[in-house]
Amino acid sequence: MSSASFSPAVRPRERLALLSAEAGRIDSPEDLLVEDRGSVRVLAMGRGKANALSTEFAVALREAARKAQEDPAVRGVVLTSRSPRIFCGGFDLRLTRAGAEDFARFTRAFDALFFDLFLLGKPLVAALTGHAVAGGALLAATADFRFAAEGPGTIGLPGVRLGIHLPRHCLEAIRSTVGERALTRWALLGETMPFCEAHALGAIDRILPQDLLLEEAVSFAEQLGGASSEVYAAIKRDLRAAAYEKAKSVLPEGRKAFVDSWFSDTGQRGLASILERRS
């Protein structure tokens, strides 16, 4: 496939967004740039300031992952951000105004993306340029390995502080990737932790200077892809099979609890507090 080259653009300092304020932005091809670096495909998110996850953006990411999976020339994948400050800030604020049908469509799109990344049959390295919050933390946690940039970046799941259930099916899956200690801290404290703290807990594998992050992530994905692709995929499947089966078994109730809490009075007050701080 043809690919678009990119370089992280330096932008004015922006406040951390748990949810993006780019609510009305229409998705465009520039929201996701794709570049092949040798045998490694780089998927670089560039949607607004925070790479907020809309239905359309989740579908585009899933399609890009599917193409990488099906391309025999691609031996590994790196998921990253074009922003030097935010990897992904979570769900699009527009979803706070979505009706039940539209929100259900979003949750189906996000769950499909999440599990396609979690089960990707090729090495997947997440290169965290900056904050990975809420849905952004869930995306990062699907990767086989997580590299993060030095600096003020944080990662976590703020659901409990907003009064919103975390998707149980996602939690069951990422127990196998970020570990119980980090997941417990993220889920029960509802705070984002510095990358260095997540590294100490084993949820992040390496912390690197920002200007070396992508290069090192690509090199590592290429190294992983040098092994037998069939064997790598089989071992990865074996490592994650139990977590996936558990996640699949609780998906209906997990999705329902998440959706119900999103539309609950408590959840709506929590989301309104985010909107108020952004106004």
Residue with tokens 């502080």: 161
Please report which confidence band the pLDDT of residue 96 belongs to, taking 50, 70 and 90 as the band edges.
confident
Nearest to 132, CA basis, from 33, 201, 50: 50
**Burial of residue 136 (number of CB atoms within 10 Å: 0-12, 13-18, 19+):** buried
Length of the chain: 279
47 membership: H or E segment, kind and range: none
Q: What is the DSSP string of 57-91?
A: HHHHHHHHHHHHHH-TT--EEEEEES-SSEEE--B
Region 162-185: what's the mean pLDDT?
96
Measure the CA–CA gap between 238 and 236, rounded to whole angstroms: 5
Mean pLDDT of the chain: 89
Residue range 99-140, pLDDT digits in tens: 889 999 999 999 999 999 999 999 999 999 999 999 999 999
Please report which confidence band the pLDDT of residue 279 belongs to, taking 50, 70 and 90 as the band edges.
low
Of the candidate CATH numbers 2.40.30.210, 3.10.250.10, 3.90.226.10, 3.40.109.10, the domain formed by 29-278 belongs to: 3.90.226.10
Domain boundaries along the sequence of the chain: 29-278
Please report which confidence band the pLDDT of residue 26 belongs to, taking 50, 70 and 90 as the band edges.
very low
- Please state the pTM of the whole predicted model: 0.88
Residue range 49-85, pLDDT digits in tens: 999 999 999 999 999 999 999 999 999 999 999 999 9
Helix axes 229-263 and 168-178, enclosed angle (nearest 10): 140
Asked whether residue 23 carries a pLDDT value surpassing 60, the answer given is no
Residue with tokens 């690509």: 218
